Structure 1
Amino acid sequence: MRVRALHDWPRSPAEAEAIQDRLRAAVRVTGELSGVRAVAGLDVAYANDGSDDLVAAVVVLDADTLEMVDSAVVAGTSTFPYVPGLFAFRELPALVDALERLTTTPDLLVVDGQGVAHPRRFGLASHLGVLTEVPSIGVAKTPLGRYEPPGPRRGDWTPLLDGAEVVGRALRTQDGVRPVFVSVGHLVDLDTATDQVLRLAPRYRLPETTRQADHLGRAALVR
């Protein structure tokens, strides 16, 4: 699939912040989606030896059956330092490489990470959405912001807040399990993002997009 080259890879935190500040103006937090047939899940697995080695995995699932129809795996080494708010730049080069190897162009990206729930409102899901011009959603395992626990049933949610601003939702995807944290990436509204995550998580806490990308990446990492 096509990924736009909107910037060079930054060499410093200041360059990375400038890229986020420039591109976040392109983010659109509206869009209800229709005709979603193929959904991509993106995840990065890291080596357990303390190195910066990683594997980026992208799976494309049939939106109705949740069966895999395409995938790509890229091994690499992160060259960008760990800096709060700039974590996306550790993963973006390998994820972009993996996306470009797909033979299927997905209708939606579901990213293991944040969208606009980010200090500069431009997390990994937003960044990838802008680069690909494909609607994107961030589904994180941990929150960026504060929230009240949602009700105990599948589909219950509460706002995820950064100060007074709603940046996402704490969403219960299964009865009695810990919530996931959903935020808009690009070209989709929060109600639609919530509905899509529930659709993609019929049995487990995490959506199948994330689960299958995680399994694929970890399997490649131990080879």
Structure 2
Amino acid sequence: MRLLLTSGGIRNASVQDALVELLGKPIEESDALFVPTAIYPFPGGAIGAWRAISGQNSSRLANLGWKSLGILELSVLPSIEEDAWVPTVRDADALLFWGGDPLFLANWMRRSGLSALLPTLRPEAVYVGVSAGSIAAASTFVETYTEPPRGTDGPLKSEPVVFTTPDGDVGRLLVTGQGAGLVDFAVIPHFEHPDHPDAWLTNAEKWAARIPVPTYAIDDESAVKVTDGAVEVVSEGRWKLFTP
């Protein structure tokens, strides 16, 4: 399976060209499935899901002109027969994983059976992640929380860390989770974004220090592209690789 792990979606020509290269054909000839699951733990998650699906935000993903676009809601999959959804996943050219809470997303990827299915998809299928959707592709990842997360089947560990923000030093929980295991590195999205101080350079260094694999901190104009195991950063912005 090929991957395009982004922070803010398809935000520029370089990242869009990388997506087309991974697909091996134009977007308008490709069938995609959109996974909104990660957004639901946030206040207004249902509205956020609709805005993402309808393309009413700055992070382009669903509104790229796909030949067809379906919705794959992971939380309903355990209650229906696999024959009703597995063939659709196998036929898709791209699976589009939206942002939100990566622990919640990874939990439902496992519970739905999708994590086990992904490695068996055809090699030319493309996993496209946005923010949490990119984080959850790793085997092991770490995410920041202000309080213990809910709605998961149990993180591996939780560690308090002090981060620097515009309002001074604040406490964060760095929670380790198990992802889909599609890549042997981790991703920190929204690098150096003014609205995401947890991912500012000094904080990203503390964050990455708790991750036992190489970690790419990428901003919203960057993506990590994986083709047949080869890793490449595509960027019109800023990124940094942290090694354990």
Output the TM-score relative to the length of structure 2: 0.31
Output the TM-score relative to the length of structure 1: 0.32
